[in-house]
Structure 1
Amino acid sequence: MRRLREREIWKTATVAALAAVVALASPAAAAVPSSTTVQATPSAAAVGESVVLSATVSCTADPSGGLGVTFFDGSDLLATVPVSAGGQASYPTSFSTTGTHTITAAYNGNTDCGASNAETTVVVSAAPVPPTPPIGYCLLACGGLINFSAGNIHNEINLG
């Protein structure tokens, strides 16, 4: 009976020690809160036009390291990029569909800073249609400095 009791005490002590190690080693236990902001430049673009997504992570500790910032377009993963010691992360992208795109920047945290996220939107319109050239023969630039058109070549001058 004494041996059975010693085993129970040993198991209880082992479980308690493991729980303490996990609690002390957990990044969430030591991490301080962070906040994230996100910006798209430009916030309105045409299909295929370049847009730079920028996230800024604020934390009283160094936000670099860890898993960085993950950018999403709705539920679609765009990319995960590193965060600088100053809390900056950016990702250039473009969109292939029109409409309002909800962009989320999710800072994944590190051993010093907790996770945080923010959202912004990018409005994507159809690519502009190129203008049709004017009828006639163009020299240098259509509609520019010199524009010739075929037609009546009789020039009359009235002096009077």
Structure 2
Amino acid sequence: MTRWNDRAAWNLVPLAALTAVVAFSSPAAAAEASTTTAQASPSAATIGQPVNLTAMVACPDDPSGGLGMTFFDGGDILATVPVTAAGAAAYTANLSTVGTHTITAAYNGNDNCSASNAETTVLISAAPTPPTTPTGFCLLACGGLIKFNVGDIHNEVNIYRGSRAPLVRHHG
């Protein structure tokens, strides 16, 4: 029985060595850990208003290259953009539905840095309804400082020039 156990042990040695070589030569095993942060500006907007999405990757090595940064709105892909050597990625989105949007910035990793992700939220509201145009005659700005309505109005207007006597007198 001793011989059989010795043979079984010797058969495991090449398998263990092969496993170690594959594990240590794999890019995923050599990649440094990374962390990602995400921001949206503004964090509250109206439908169609541009929202600037930014993400930063922190990694001891160069995070550029690879598959870049992918921005998601919930489960929907917005875009994949490059990551700079400083770890920055940016995308401008126009979100078209009312509600809270969970934005995920997913760094896809490279040979030097592992994948990581972060979330932020954006609240999208409906665009404000424009005011209705007022009826009647407007001075300065409709709906603004002075508004006249047509009706039975008696006004007196005096225009003075230098002296206290009226230059023009009008009754309406």
Q: Does 1:66 align with 2:69?
A: no
Amino acid at match of 2:52: V
1:90 aligned residue: 90
Residues 10-159 of structure 1 correspond to what in structure 2 (within 5 A)?
20=21, 22-138=22-138, 141-144=141-144, 147-156=147-156
Amino acid at match of 2:94: S
Q: Secondary structure at the match of 1:28?
A: helix
Moved more, 132-141 or 103-112: 132-141
1:95 CA displacement = 1.1
Whole-Å Cα distance in 1 between the matches of residues 139 and 86 of structure 2?
A: 54
1:30 CA displacement = 1.3
Gaps of 5+ in 1: 1-11
1:70 CA displacement = 0.4
Amino acid at match of 1:127: A
Whole-Å Cα distance in 2 between the matches of residues 27 and 151 of structure 1?
A: 83
Relative to 1, partners in 2 of residues 1:137 and 1:155: Cα closer, same or farther, differing over 3 Å? Answer: closer
Amino acid at match of 2:72: F
Higher relative contact order by CA 8 Å / sep ≥ 6: 1 or 2? Answer: 1
Over the residues paired in the alignment, what is the CA RMSD in angstroms? Answer: 2.6
Relative to 1, partners in 2 of residues 1:36 and 1:97: Cα closer, same or farther, differing over 3 Å? Answer: same
Whole-Å Cα distance in 2 between the matches of residues 139 and 19 of structure 1?
A: 84
When Rg is computed on C-alpha atoms for both structures, the one with the higher figure is 2
1:121 CA displacement = 0.8
Amino acid at match of 1:43: S
1:156 CA displacement = 4.7
1:75 CA displacement = 0.6
Paired residues, number: 146
